[in-house]
Chains A and B, each alone.
Chain A
Amino acid sequence: MRWGLILGAILAGIAVLAALISFAWTPYDVTAMAIADKLQTPSASHPFGTDHFGRDILSMLMVGARTSIAVALVAVGIGMGLGVPLGLLAAANRGSWIDETVMRGNDLIFAFPSLVIAILITAVFGPSAVNAIIAIGIFNIPVFARVTRGGAMPLWTLDYIRAAEVAGKRRARISVEHILPNIANLLIVQGTIQFSLGILAEAGLSYVGLGAQPPTPSWGRMLAEAQTMVTIAPHVAVIPGLAIVLTVLGLNLLGDGLRDWLDPRLRVMR
């Protein structure tokens, strides 16, 4: 499965690189319209063709990558920032009311269809990239809390952790100094998966007009705009979709690859 890790890293790397390069340079200005050049099929001057306003699709994809990655990354940050401490807290106080409260709270968030609540939030507070981040981020919290708790629980029964406890070290310090480093692998893998889910979610929200607003290019909105033109210029719809699929696929392969690579036990099992 080593090739999966490499392929994943390459695909995800291309998306990140495209986003980074777009800060300094894009082939064309993404806001510049050239109606005379509209709906061109891929050519040497426009490798991915142009859209209905004559904008260069490659340039838009590069800037759109920025939006997707930023939204998904910050959403993962929110999920980790709140979910990991909650998970550590629950594991450190396993069986107590704190644990029970955290876990039931998690179940409750899980019960909400994330997309519906994301739509509700953006509907009430207005569509914007920031609200999309919050909406996606909230649903990352229980995921990280659960993974953290699940990973931390068995560690609390280990001798060296018990020794630290007996020696009088506070549970909060044990959680940070001994538990956290031991579950870092799990968190990295889950982070990659949530990152890819975030990109999909952002694309969906932007597609229905609840994500990043014009003129900020976003992959989801490119697809929404392309929908009416799909019959006359299929490339306008196919190319942004491929960008999403390849990025998400890359991140998923990277996540799976990292899990196998970081956990030698799995290598034996397969």
Chain B
Amino acid sequence: MLRYVARRLLILAISLIVASALIFSIVELVPGDPASFMLGTGARPETVAALRDQMGLDLPLPLRYAQWVGAILTGDFGTSFTYKTPIAGMILDRMQVSLPLALMALLLSTAIAFPIGILAASRRGGASDAAVMGATQLGIALPNFWFAMLLVLLFAVHLQWLPAGGFPGWSDPLAALRSLLLPAIALALPQAAILARVLRSALIETQGQDYIRTARAKGLTRGQTLRRHALRNALIPVLTIMGMQFSFLLAGAIIIENVFYLPGLGRLIFQAITQRDLIVVQSAVLVLVAAVIAVTFLVDLAYAAVDPRLRRR
């Protein structure tokens, strides 16, 4: 177990280093230099020189990378070029929208996918299986932002049950949750379709195993074997997909946040791009990527928790 965790930790560290270096160098690749890119073509040379100096662009590249990473490790992400405020605070603010949104979507997607995936697997070949497979096939093909527009049309415009967009802040938790509900559904449903299909095929695969036959032979019903034996063994592929989905939900929120005018991390990245605020883009993307890498690490640990065979390695 210790070796397994150590190996995962090493991979985590390497991934973080390489990812941060990649993000850092992509921004270095902008046509011209970052300072003149951010200020636009009409900027005066003094202004460009001042920004170059502020960003430390005259220092050699590896040194700047080291300084950037070093500062981030102490929680200093630098100052936004357009808002003149510390980026760390901005990211923290935005996370209060993006993180709950992603968690809500993941929860919803799991809550939908598990029952229908199990149903389809236990009635394999039957009418309900065909219905689940058909519905999930459609769900996978849905662009979530379009689905979001349809949800707004139905629930916000026609029925007026939920707000069409905006975020009131967490001072009123109920209102905040209400405004996150439609975006979370829009994000969750296509993901639930994928998850349900993975769960179904993983369950069907395990059901062909000898230990399932043994369990049936000793008198357990189909439902009991499914819940007690097959489900646990089908969890590995399901966990993999759930880990990938969480990162997808965090990142996919960029588009959904735009549909609902939610002040989340995705919208911050997007606004920063249109304002050419590369410092914010760089930091916010790094935070997202780091979150994804961290989730991958946690999923790897979860494998070991679910599958005792991995612990012995």
Q: Is the CB of B143 within 8 A of A120?
A: no
Q: Does A245 contact B (CB under 8 A)?
A: yes
Q: Does A124 contact B (CB under 8 A)?
A: yes
Q: Is the CB of A108 within 8 A of B285?
A: no
Select which of B19, B153, B281 is within 8 A of A108 by beta carbon.
B19
Count CB-based A-B contacts (< 8 Å). Answer: 116
| B residues in contact with A241, CB < 8 Å | 143, 146, 149-150
| A residues in contact with B31, CB < 8 Å | 125
Q: Which of B271-293 contact A (CB under 8 A)?
A: 273, 281, 285, 288-289, 292-293
Min CB gap B156→A, angstroms: 9
**Given contacts A115-B251, A119-B254, are A227 and B19 in contact (CB under 8 A)?**
no
Q: Is the CB of B293 within 8 A of A111?
A: yes
Which listed segment binds A: B22-30, B70-78, B223-231?
B22-30
Q: Does B137 contact A (CB under 8 A)?
A: yes
| A residues in contact with B118, CB < 8 Å | none
Q: Does A249 contact B (CB under 8 A)?
A: yes
How many residues from B make CB contacts under 8 Å with A?
Answer: 44
Q: Is the CB of B143 within 8 A of A238?
A: no
Q: Determine the distance from Cα of A245 to Cα of B144 in the docked complex, in whole angstroms.
A: 10
Q: Is the interface of B mostly helix, strand, loop or mixed?
A: helix
Min CB gap A143→B, angstroms: 12
Q: Determine the distance from Cα of A108 to Cα of B125 in the docked complex, in whole angstroms.
A: 38
Which listed segment binds B: A33-41, A50-58, A177-185, A202-210?
A202-210
In the complex, the chain A residue whose C-beta lies closest to that of B295 is A111
Q: Does B145 contact A (CB under 8 A)?
A: yes
Q: Does B107 contact A (CB under 8 A)?
A: no
Select which of B146, B250, B258, B292 is within 8 A of A237 by beta carbon.
B146
| A residues in contact with B23, CB < 8 Å | 120
Q: Does A112 contact B (CB under 8 A)?
A: yes
In the complex, the chain B residue whose C-beta lies closest to that of A121 is B26
**Given contacts A111-B15, A231-B153, A231-B157, are A119 and B273 in contact (CB under 8 A)?**
yes
**Given contacts A200-B143, A231-B157, A253-B137, are A115 and B252 in contact (CB under 8 A)?**
yes
Q: Does B88 contact A (CB under 8 A)?
A: no
Q: Does B140 contact A (CB under 8 A)?
A: yes
Q: Determine the distance from Cα of A231 to Cα of B218 in the docked complex, in whole angstroms.
A: 60
Selected A-B contacts with CB under 8 Å, 14 pairs: A107-B11, A111-B289, A116-B254, A120-B26, A203-B143, A204-B145, A220-B143, A227-B259, A230-B149, A237-B150, A240-B146, A241-B149, A241-B150, A252-B140
